Amino acid sequence: MSDPNNEELELVELTPAQQKRRRNRNIAIAVTLGVLVVIFYAVTMLKIGANIVNRAM
């Protein structure tokens, strides 16, 4: 049997169009994650802010 650790990896060369699509997809994922972070932060601040206003003094 051949040892898979000794075999050389075959690298795939992407065309410029594929590289552009990959870059655009990565940017879209990053923007989506950033928007989710902002939404979660805003919701958390709203919930905490509401509790601070309604606390007993």
- 3-class SS letters over the chain: CCCCCCCCCCCCCCCHHHHHHHHHHHHHHHHHHHHHHHHHHHHHHHHHHHHHHCCCC
Q: How many domains does the chain have?
A: 1
pLDDT at residue 41, as a whole number:
94
- Indicate the pTM of the whole model: 0.66
Q: Which residue has the higher pLDDT, 36 or 5?
A: 36
Q: Which domain holds residue 35?
A: 16-57
- Tell me if 28 is assigned to some domain: yes
pLDDT at residue 52, as a whole number:
74
Q: How far apart are CA 26 and CA 5, in angstroms?
A: 30
The mean pLDDT of the chain is: 87
- Tell me if 3 is assigned to some domain: no
Q: How far apart are CA 12 and CA 19, in angstroms?
A: 12
pLDDT tens, position by position, 10-37: 889 999 999 999 999 999 999 999 999 9
